[in-house]
Amino acid sequence: MLEIKIPELTDFTLMERYKGLKPLVFDKATGQLQWIKGRSTAEELRNIAYAWEPEPLRNVEPEEVKAMEDYDFSCLHTWGSPGLFKPTIAEVLSQVDYERVTHDIISVECGVRMHLVAFCIIDFPKTVDDLRKDVWTSYFFDEGYHTSRIRLYYSYKEWHGFPEGA
C-alpha cells in the first residue's frame, strides 16, 4: 500500500521558504490575480486556510510575474470534514519541487535572473463529484486529503520585492 503524507517542514525552513514564495489568489469578481496580506508566524502558515476570505493588498501587475504552466502540480491538503477545503500555505510550500524549479529558472532573460516568487491554486474540489473525479483523487480523499492544482510564478523583470504587507 502507498503511504500518503504531506512532507513536514521545520519552522525555520517553512519561514525561509515563505520569505521567497507568496500565495496569490484570484479575485472572483474581476478574475485578476492579487497579492494578499501575509502571515507572520509558522503557526499561522500551518493552521490558517489562506484562501478563505483573503485580505487583498493589490492586483498583480501583468509584467510583474510570469506563470510557469509547465510546472503545475497536484497538492494535497488535509481535511477535517469531507466538504471543507482548507488549504494552508505550509501544505503548499512543503510540496513544491524547489530543486527542479530553481534549476530550470536559473536562466537569463534580458540579463535578469529569474526568481520564483508566488503560487496560486488554479483548481480545487468545488462539488462532491470533484472529490472522486478519478482514481487518484478518490484514493487521496479516502486517505483524508483533498487535492488541488498549484501554479507557480516567477518574476521576469528585475525583482524589487513583494508588496508591503505580503
- Tell me the pLDDT tens digit for each residue of 103-131: 555 554 545 567 789 999 999 988 888 88
Q: For residue 58, tell me if it sits in a domain.
A: yes
Domain boundaries, position 51: 11-155
Query: What total of structural domains would you count in the chain?
Result: 1
Q: What whole-number distance in Å separates Cα of residue 38 and Cα of residue 22?
A: 8
Q: What whole-number distance in Å separates Cα of residue 161 and Cα of residue 136?
A: 37
Residue whose entry in the numeric block shows the C-alpha cell 537569463: 108
pLDDT confidence of residue 75: 96
Q: For residue 165, tell me if it sits in a domain.
A: no
pLDDT confidence of residue 4: 83
Q: What average pLDDT score do residues 31-55 get?
A: 93
Q: For residue 105, tell me if it sits in a domain.
A: yes
Q: For residue 96, tell me if it sits in a domain.
A: yes
pLDDT confidence of residue 96: 95
Question: 29-33, 62-66, 99-103, 115-119: which range is least confident on average?
Answer: 99-103
Q: What whole-number distance in Å separates Cα of residue 64 and Cα of residue 52?
A: 24
Give the list of residues 6+ apart from residue 42 with CB closer than 8 angstroms, or none.
Answer: 11, 14, 15, 90
Handedness of CA 111, 58, 34, 29 (dihedral sign): negative
**Cβ count within 10 A of residue 38:** 19
Q: Which candidate, 95, 119, 116, places its Cα nearest to that of 107?
A: 116
